Structure 1
Amino acid sequence: MITGTVWVPPSALASMIEELAQLATQPSPDPVTVDRIRELRKTLRRSETEIKPDDGLVEPGMRVTAMLSGDTRATVFLLGERELVSRDPGVDIDVYSPSSPVGRAIIGSYVGATVTYATPSDPSVQIEILAAVPYKG
């Protein structure tokens, strides 16, 4: 379950609104449908779709380019809730969750920063933020 404010692409938001409208018009929804309606309403109340400012700050809704320690090629990904972003068929890059180990480590950092985080196999992985630009689809 997603808590707090979440960033979603505008088309994903539209998809959730459409699903909610379809479910809410059912005359006698079953318990699973009622739960899904509640979940959609809660997520919609917490959703934000604004394009983030291009200020180098790493936050959900940013297209991040980073270099993991030991890698020779940079990794490019969208920082966002995978289950919500996946509703947008136009997203054609990897999506890292803000609640993942790397997501928690890099949120709030700026371009040029190197941060360390732990994984199950390595207690001190370093990642350098090379770029963080607003995701525009």
Structure 2
Amino acid sequence: MTRSTTSDAGHGTVWMASEALRALERERDQLEATPREHTQAQLVRLLHLRKLIQNADTAERADDGLVEAGMTVGLHFDDGTTDTFVLGERDILRGERVVSLGSPLGSAVDGHRVGETIAFTTPAGAERTARIVAAVPHQPE
């Protein structure tokens, strides 16, 4: 089975909606239009944008219950709480609740299916268990 994966470090393919790819390309084009005026932060951003665009995966995700980048995921935790988020790259899905594949929760759910139970350790050291109750292709607003 081949799946697209990434981490916050930007290695591998990066799932994104085609609209997000176009927005990144516009931002890159604007930065490249004024090369002599770049600050160090702008140069770093430009390099990051180029890598994201080069590794972009805009393929539509199958609605098959598999959790992978580009899916909206619903969880029901063992303490009765729930959470819904998009599994993907924070830099691309601005303004949405995003969990990255490189995070403890993101790596715990990646590759699992609806109905399965996952366990992970939070950055604060707490052990958590949750059941995956939804995994559907993300629809950008």
TM-score norm. by structure 2 comes to 0.83
The alignment partner of 2:113 has SS state of coil
Aligned residues: 130
Q: 1:110 aligns with which of 108, 113, 116?
A: 113
Segments of 5+ residues of structure 2 without an aligned counterpart are: 1-8
Segments of 5+ residues of structure 1 without an aligned counterpart are: none
What is the identity percentage for the equivalent residue pairs of Structure 1 and Structure 2?
35
8 Å CA contact 2:71, 2:135 repeated in 1: yes
1:25 maps to which residue?
Answer: 33
2:76 and 2:35 map into 1 onto residues whose CA distance is 52
Q: 2:136 aligns with which of 109, 133, 137?
A: 133
Q: Which amino acid counterpart does residue 58 of structure 1 have in structure 2?
A: V
8 Å CA contact 2:10, 2:51 repeated in 1: no
2:78 counterpart of 1:83:
no
TM-score norm. by structure 1 comes to 0.85
* Aligned-residue offset at 1:27: 4.8
Structure 1 residues 15-74: Cα deviation after superposition (integer angstroms, max 9, x where no partner): 1100111111115243523333222111111111222011111001001111111024x3
RMSD: 1.7
2:23 counterpart of 1:15:
yes
